[in-house]
Amino acid sequence: MHSDRRKLRSVEAIGADRDAGAWAARVLDGASLVVAGPRGSGRSHLLRGITAEIERLGGHAVVLHTASALSREPFGAVDAAADPALAMLRTPSDDHTVMDGVLVVDDIELLDAASAQAIARAVASRSLVAVLAHRTARPRDIEPHDDADGARRGLRDLWVEGLARRVDLTELSDEDAFRLIDVFPDAGLLDSPTRAALVWRADRSRALLRRLVLHAIADARAGRDPLEAFRSIAPHSRLAVALERHMSDMPTDDLESLAGIRRLAHLEMAVATRFFEVDSLQALTARGLLHADPSPERRLTANDLIAQEAQRRLGVARIDALVDAVGRRMLAESDEWWSPAVAVTIAQRWHRLGPQLSGEAAHAPAVRARIALDAAREANDRGDASHAAAYAARGLKSADVPALRLEAELAARVAVGADGTDDGGDVEMRRRLARGVVEDQGHERRGETSPDRALADARVDELLAQAAHAGARLEWTAAAEFAGRATAEVSAAPAARLRALVAAGTAEAIAGGWRRARVCYRAAERMLDARYVSDGLLARDRLTALISMLAGHQIAGADGAAVHARLERELARTAREGDGAELTLAGAAAAIAFAGAGRALESRRELASAMSRTPSAVADLDTTMIELSVAEELALAGRFDDARAILVRLDDRGIPLLRRSSLYVQTTILAAEGRHDAARVAARGAADLTRGRSAAALRIRDLFRLTALGAASEDEVDELVQLAATTDLPLAAEAVRRASARSSAEEDLPVDELRLHALWSTRDVSREHSDAMVDFPRPPELSVATGELTAREHEIALMADEGLTNREIATRLFLSVRTVESHIYQARAKVGAASRKELGRMVAAEVERERAAARPSAPVEDNGVNPAAPPADEQTAALPDLPGTAPRFTRRE
């Protein structure tokens, strides 16, 4: 308990100008302070810290507590304190007696006029050292006026007259907010999307964030989703009181804008300005209480916690009337403007009241069908199939519209395809494809030209479906070809192009073409970074892309820290734009990111939280692959039961990719448990599935495991070397290096050796991103210790330096050409040589240096040049590893 309290006390140290010890030292030197900050900025925390530090440093602090009940009584707060040291404030003397101690007053805006004047007079006459804190107003806040304001202004202005030092406390930044969350006990229960959502809901207030975090941790302990629990806050609870105080000065226009847009989720900015004050919308957007997405329509989302309190203050009836008025106006002006967000609220009202009370029969059938279509689409996109079916059925009674029939059919599928075998991802693709076809047919019926974009989107989704099925069969070269053809559809919508690029990148990575994968990923990153994209990219599109990119980096053995940093930035946007489906995707992406960083428990937490929200948002195949990744990390972390529990409940459904991945994870678990014979059987099963398939990244891993477990044949070792030589995957050289550095006599292998991919770095990569294609760093020209190479590798390297071909070397040494190639590749991996030619030159240069070292030292000539020293380029080659360059691989001791 005491350690928890110490952690919570450290909250006040996070942020600028919050060093209580430094301020206490200034005060004891005779400097008065005026601490200013808005509500929730941590003024009280800082004052308590300064008071404690004054006492610790041997001083005396007199704390004057203010209260609204005493603000109209002359010297009300002074008399209530009953401290003899404060008598000088009521009856000042002419001898300028200095008060013993430091006066500390929080919330000076609650002081009565007499006390405020007396304190100001004492500070000005240097007979009192005081630490005074007052609340500053936020933009647009309403400040009630009373008769004591003039006297209080004298206190606030002490710093203006040079009589005190002003300390400005800024509002909580997002970075500091995340640091504060980590301070709380059991903060590890909160997943990444929840943390991002808490930071946004706190509205930059430390006080509100503290209550939100404590509330969220309690909900997480009880097995509830903290974000769902916030939809119903108990009146008079600590959180409710903190929220009420936080919003006490907000003007009515802002309250109405927040509460209205909360009910009209994703309302377009142009439509919002028809019903809400423009100044209010702009101010709330600038402050962050309203979020406008990057689409041309600038769809708005309100901070739901603040907006919920706004509705409570204004009354539900007032907001209901406002939303109904918006709907009636849109129906009356439907030939002029239309908003799907408003249409959804109308459909909800009609659904709730029924045809008799809602008055829907008074509107044209085409309008009723349009209302139903927007509502059915929105429900289907949220995964709410039951409401989507209800809206579609209601609309079909008004008009037989193909688009409505399609939404009814999509709702009926829920999470399985029409043939009963496809997973959620296939349904999502079919949904986009079918909608495009229906819209295209609609244009043809009206005699209009068929839109190229709809056709291009349909082709993209069809090609990506074929790529997904090829990948499931472990035919990743074919998958890369299908996805590559999809990237050529330049007239497709941005979301479709983004899907194509990341699919092509991931397929290329698994097939063994990391450089081609990076080209696709860079193009996708440029789309994600674009400030303005025609038709916009929804949170779901961006998160799905990040999931694929994270998986591609992990499979290729590449450092995915940059993509992880991008995900952390995306979480802030998702917390504003997204709903359950988007939060599920964000959690799935975070699970992959933590798995790639070797953080097994965090990875399991993210996935469990994600799947508790809207599991249908992630395709079944993707979910299974993520779960397998989490299970492997748990096994490597020694949590065998947890890993096996995940593995037992998974069904590979006869899909080769899932079957192979399941066997791969079984190998890890069995090896971790010390059951090496069973691990070899599982590893053999995985390798049998990738034999002859175009999945180089997976095949290299399987062959490496067979080698590491002592179960690989000579041909399989040669295949591993050949694959590593013909691919540019980051894990390729690592596989050969690790395999070649082990003795064949080493049988019992630690489980950590089965982790082929290197853990992702933890450096700050947020500023390292560049749109330009980044070439792979070439290893520096290093000196090579001949003891690192076997005698045969050393001999072959010198022959290569002489210009002999591999066939000539094989003939001279009575070896096969494949054996010579294997020796050369292993030698290159050991010394970090970029090519065969460089290997020979490095080994030859080392031999020459050894010979030079054995000769007597030559005298230094007058020009300062040592004739025995190696040439300048060889001096450069002898330099040690430099920061930012590829490491030099050496044999492990």
The answer to whether residue 127 scores a pLDDT higher than 50 is yes
Q: What is the band of 532 on the pLDDT scale with cuts at 50, 70, 90?
A: low
- pLDDT of amino acid 842: 85
Torsion of CA 375, 376, 379, 384, to 10 degrees: 140
The answer to whether residue 104 scores a pLDDT higher than 90 is yes
Q: What is the band of 15 on the pLDDT scale with cuts at 50, 70, 90?
A: low
Most confident of 424-438, 446-460, 485-499: 485-499
The answer to whether residue 439 scores a pLDDT higher than 80 is no
Alpha-carbon torsion (91, 92, 97, 101), positive or negative: positive
Identify residue 699 by its one-letter amino acid code.
R
Query: In the predicted model, what is the mean pLDDT of residues 184-211?
Result: 92
List phi, psi (to 5°) of 530. Answer: -60, 135
The answer to whether residue 746 scores a pLDDT higher than 50 is no
pLDDT tens-digit profile of 672-716?
Answer: 888 889 999 999 999 999 999 999 999 999 998 898 888 889 899
- pTM (2 d.p.): 0.74
CA 871, 873, 874 angle in degrees (round to 5)? 65
Percent above pLDDT 90 for the chain:
36
Q: 209 CB contacts (<8 Å, ≥6 apart)?
A: 172, 177, 180, 181, 198, 199, 202
The answer to whether residue 198 scores a pLDDT higher than 50 is yes
**Two tokens at 633?**
């990390």
The burial of 466, by beta-carbon neighbours within 10 Å (0-12 exposed, 13-18 middle, 19 or more buried), is given as middle
**What 3-state DSSP class applies to 391?**
helix
| Cα(421)–Cα(418) distance, integer angstroms | 8
pLDDT tens-digit profile of 853-864?
Answer: 766 544 433 433
- pLDDT of amino acid 744: 45
Percent above pLDDT 70 for the chain:
81
CB atoms inside a 10 Å sphere around CB 474: 23
The answer to whether residue 783 scores a pLDDT higher than 60 is no
Query: In the predicted model, what is the mean pLDDT of residues 229-255?
Result: 90
**Two tokens at 526?**
């440029």
Among 594, 486, 581, 596, residue whose Cα is nearest residue 541 = 581
Query: In the predicted model, what is the mean pLDDT of residues 832-844?
Result: 78
pLDDT tens-digit profile of 237-249?
Answer: 999 999 999 998 8
- pLDDT of amino acid 72: 85
DSSP state of 106: S
Q: 313 CB contacts (<8 Å, ≥6 apart)?
A: 247, 255
Which residue is it, tokens 């990444």?
192
| Cα(78)–Cα(69) distance, integer angstroms | 13
Q: What is the band of 750 on the pLDDT scale with cuts at 50, 70, 90?
A: low
Q: Are 104 and 63 in contact (CB under 8 A)?
A: yes
Q: Are 196 and 572 in contact (CB under 8 A)?
A: yes
The answer to whether residue 142 scores a pLDDT higher than 80 is no
CB atoms inside a 10 Å sphere around CB 140: 15
- pLDDT of amino acid 165: 93
Q: What is the band of 667 on the pLDDT scale with cuts at 50, 70, 90?
A: very high
Q: 811 CB contacts (<8 Å, ≥6 apart)?
A: none
The answer to whether residue 745 scores a pLDDT higher than 50 is no
Largest Cα–Cα separation, the chain:
111
- pLDDT of amino acid 784: 45
**Two tokens at 513?**
């073409």
Query: In the predicted model, what is the mean pLDDT of residues 651-667?
Result: 91
| Cα(344)–Cα(376) distance, integer angstroms | 8
The answer to whether residue 428 scores a pLDDT higher than 80 is no
| Cα(573)–Cα(678) distance, integer angstroms | 46
Q: Are 442 and 406 in contact (CB under 8 A)?
A: no
- Mean pLDDT for the chain? 81
CA 311, 312, 314 angle in degrees (round to 5)? 65
| Cα(623)–Cα(6) distance, integer angstroms | 40
H or E stretch at 503: helix 494-511
pLDDT tens-digit profile of 354-412?
Answer: 888 888 889 999 999 999 999 999 888 877 888 999 999 999 998 988 889 888 888 88
| Range in 132-146, 343-357, 475-489, 653-667 with the lowest mean pLDDT | 132-146
| Range in 27-31, 807-811, 874-878 with the lowest mean pLDDT | 874-878
- pLDDT of amino acid 832: 67
Give how far Cα 659 sits from Cα of 460, 468, 509, 634, 824, Å: 28, 16, 20, 19, 35
Greater confidence, 892 or 480?
A: 480
Complete edge-to-edge strand list for the sheet that includes strand 267-268: 267-268, 299-302, 290-292
